[in-house]
Amino acid sequence: MSRPAIKLYRHPLSGHAHRVELMLSLLQLPTELVFVDLANGAHKQADFLAINPFGQVPVIDDAGTLVNDSNAILVYLAKRYGEGRWLAEDAVGAAQVQRWLSVAAGQVAYGPAAARLITVFGAAFNADEVINRAHVLLTVMEGELGSTAFLTGTEPSIADVANYSYIAHAPEGNVSLEAYPNVRAWLARIEALPGFVPMQRTAAGLQAA
């Protein structure tokens, strides 16, 4: 008997939602994608607020279990379906993953993700400030990825999934990846994983042609 599909409430241009879509695909879990029309405020309507009071995508509905917040969903999926592969159980390994989940919610959100929000969604951030933050982050990642294949070691984890989407799409926010060969090699390793699914690209920033 096949298991019911996990509903993923998302927008195709949301990197936060793509993290979850990517994780579901890497785990080969049946998924039903539910489009949330952010442009017309669907995420602020009562029916959506009933499943996420913060009014944000993504949200998953796993046979009646509702989980929101992209990083929380990654932890849930890894714990429930990852068979120990995507989230370390030992103290040091779990801390290393948590460190990068915090980066995804901090330096990534206020660096490359914010820069992309300017060009793709017209957000009112200071472009120079957020692009500079992005390059500070990329410099750190470049150094750390010089000695390891993935962010927390030789195997991929939810740390990589959490950080992939906005780094891969940083050029859409006028953040060049040219000076970061280790970061680009890391992106390629993620893209080579069985079950990888890309996020929809936007002709914005350095991607505008």
Domains of the chain by range and CATH? Answer: 6-81 (3.40.30.10), 91-207 (1.20.1050.10)
- 102 is written with which tokens? 């915090």
- pLDDT by 10s per residue, the chain, length 209: 577 899 999 999 999 999 999 999 999 999 999 999 888 888 989 999 999 999 999 999 999 999 999 999 999 999 999 999 999 999 999 999 999 999 999 999 999 999 999 998 788 899 999 999 999 999 999 999 999 999 999 999 999 999 999 999 999 999 999 999 999 999 999 999 999 999 988 777 777 75
List, as own/partner pairs, every contact residues 84-87 make where C-beta atoms lie below 8 angstroms and the sequence separation is at least 24, other chains included.
Answer: 85/155, 86/23, 86/26, 86/27, 86/156, 86/157, 86/158, 86/161, 87/157, 87/158
